[in-house]
Amino acid sequence: MQLSAEDLDGAVKRLQRAQGQLGGIIRMIQEGRDCQDIVTQIAAVSKAIDRAGFVVIASGLKECVIDGDGDTAQMERLFLSLA
pLDDT, tens digit (0-9, with 9 covering 90-100), for 12-46: 999 999 999 999 999 999 999 999 999 999 999 99
- Residue 20 is assigned to a structural domain of this protein: yes
Predicted confidence (pLDDT) at residue 83 exceeds the cutoff of 80: no
Predicted confidence (pLDDT) at residue 9 exceeds the cutoff of 80: yes
Contacts of 14 (CB under 8 A, 6+ apart): 48, 49, 51, 52, 55
- Residue 1 is assigned to a structural domain of this protein: no
- Residue 37 is assigned to a structural domain of this protein: yes
Separation between Cα atoms, residue 74 and residue 80, nearest integer Å: 10
What CATH number should be reported for the domain holding residue 60? 1.20.58.1000
Cα angle 22, 23, 25 (rounded to 5 degrees) comes to: 65
Number of separate domains in the chain:
1
Q: Which amino acid belongs to residue 63? A: E
- Residue 3 is assigned to a structural domain of this protein: no
Q: Structure pTM?
A: 0.74
Domain residue limits at 31:
9-81
Nearest to 3 by CA among 42, 55, 49, 44: 55
